[in-house]
A and B are shown apart, each in its own frame.
Chain A
Amino acid sequence: MFWSVTQSLLEGFGKTAELFALTLLFAIPLGLVVSFGSMSRFGPLKWLVRSFVWVIRGTPLMLQLIIVFYGPGLLGTGAQNLLSGGYDGRFLQLVEWVASWTVHSRMVAALVAFVINYACYFSEIYRGGIESIPVGQYEACQVLGMTKTQAFFRVVLLQVVKRIVPPMGNEIITLVKDTSLARTIAVYEILWNAQKFTKTNGLLWPLLYSGLFYLVFTGVLTVLLRRIEKRMDYFKSV
């Protein structure tokens, strides 16, 4: 029994780790794009992006998962009905086309929801980090003849990174545990696999066992994050 549980949990953990890694891979750069949007000097863009971030951060991730998973399909069906009902239009065709390929994979739906959600959280951390750099740093760069790009990449960026590593660490640890929400749309991650044994065999320990997986994973991450912080201990921000 122990081995079959272990095997099943490892399989589930694979999904969990995959969701975790892919979410980070896409959300970290996307967050930067979103943060630039939310700091844009073009008012309408800034407010659009900030409202979007507010909606994403202000509603449950579970709700977003469900909407991303079922939403396109339902819209697609609606579009299809309208199309077959004699309505015509490129927009409807587009909706139907989009719906036809998003709905297929539960994993993709989960990933899309996670990436959007986490990109928004990350963007706020980036924004805080960028805005916390004293204006004097930029002014010194300008007076020393640097371009704006040079100032950002050669002077500001590392200071921002130093400031955002701790809050990013918190979010990353939270993400490990948030991946379990994917079971809402039947992505068979580790917790789903563990609960399967509780339901069918009346066992509690597989659940505790899955908790151990989470603990080890977050433990390793905590150590890694500490190391990154340590590497930037040699300087203090102004």
Chain B
Amino acid sequence: MSILEVTNLEKSFGKTRVLKGVSFTLEAGEVLSVIGSSGSGKTTLLRCINALETADGGRITVDGSVIFDSERTQKFSKAEQRRNQRKVGLVFQQFNLFPQYNVLQNVTLPMLLQARSRRDDSGRRALTAQIEATARGYLERVNLSDKLESYPCELSGGQQQRVAIARALALEPKILFFDEPTSALDPELTVEVLKVIRGLKNAGRTMVVVTHEMEFARNVSDKVIFMADGVIEEEGTPEQLFGAPKSEKTAAFLTRSYD
């Protein structure tokens, strides 16, 4: 069974149909890159899976449980919605760190709030200490152990994005989604972020990355999807898609991207 199954996902904004029936699957431990020109619906796809938008049609299954189904008559309760939300994580293009909290606090805040709502009070002190230790561990993985006390405004864009990655990872989502994680960064800073994502792949994380970095998509992903006009125009291994694209649209897009 695949860890992610997206079936016939549809989404319109007013009269514009942005997703026109998108279906794909992803296996645990795989990295999927989503490429495609501006406006093809990549962000919308990620936002629908992460419940920032409500799709109009289709079904999304993560790790065997349905997190969205337009056929479902009974709505998910608030608690169920949050439980579904926990299965997936999203890293934004603009980081969206919390400016008034330092690096460590940015990572621990969501963890603390979740732990409390789950009410496994094994002593608040012990719990807090344990969460902090976990958070430090994740920050070490993104090479930020020396910035724990810094505030977001004191960090470079690359560092901020790595905090955002640690913050999302710390909640242990089944799948981590990235929406153009390096597009807001200077070229010299994209390297450090891509290196972190590569490291996560080696650690066996399941990830979906929307990206304009063709080299990255080619070298790091197990699977690539090319989106055009709200549909998946072509999908395959990086070798197939970059080496021998079947669709003319794909070929044209790749030629343009390499200019």
- Using a CB–CB cutoff of 8 Å, the interface residues on chain A facing chain B are 134, 136-137, 139-140, 142-147, 150, 154-155, 158-159, 162, 232, 234-238
Contact = CB atoms under 8 A, between A and B. Distances in A.
B82 A137 contact: no
B52 A238 contact: no
Interface string B52-69: 100000000000000000
A136, A150, A235: most-surrounded residue (chain B CB, <10 A) = A235
B52 A143 contact: yes
A144 B99 contact: no
Interface in B98-137: 98-100, 109-110, 113-114, 117
B188 to A, nearest CB: 23
25 contacts: A134-B94, A134-B96, A136-B94, A137-B96, A137-B98, A140-B98, A142-B52, A143-B85, A143-B89, A143-B168, A145-B82, A145-B85, A145-B86, A145-B114, A145-B171, A147-B82, A147-B117, A154-B113, A159-B99, A235-B99, A235-B151, A235-B152, A235-B153, A236-B99, A238-B96
Contacts of B94: 134, 136
Contacts of B86: 145
A164 to B, nearest CB: 14
B211 interface: no
Contacts of B50: 143
9 A-B pairs closest in CB distance: A140-B96, A144-B110, A236-B153, A136-B96, A143-B90, A235-B99, A235-B100, A158-B100, A235-B151
Contacts of B167: 144
B216 interface: no
A145 B92 contact: no
Contacts of B109: 154-155
Contacts of B78: 147
A236 B52 CA distance: 26
Given A144-B171, A145-B113, A154-B113, A159 B92 contact: no
A144 B168 contact: yes
Given A136-B92, A143-B50, A159 B113 contact: no
B200 to A, nearest CB: 17
Contacts of B194: none
A166 to B, nearest CB: 17
A153 to B, nearest CB: 11
B251 interface: no
B145 to A, nearest CB: 21
Nearest to B50: A143
A137 B99 CA distance: 10
Contact of B99 (A142, A150, A154, A237): A237
Contacts of B114: 145
A155 B82 CA distance: 18
B48 interface: no
Contacts of A237: 99
Nearest to B109: A154
Given A145-B171, A154-B113, A139 B96 contact: yes
Nearest to A137: B96
B185 interface: no
A118 B239 CA distance: 67
A6 B175 CA distance: 73
Given A142-B85, A144-B168, 14 more contacts: A134-B96, A136-B92, A139-B52, A139-B92, A139-B96, A142-B51, A142-B52, A145-B86, A147-B78, A232-B100, A235-B153, A236-B151, A238-B96, A238-B152
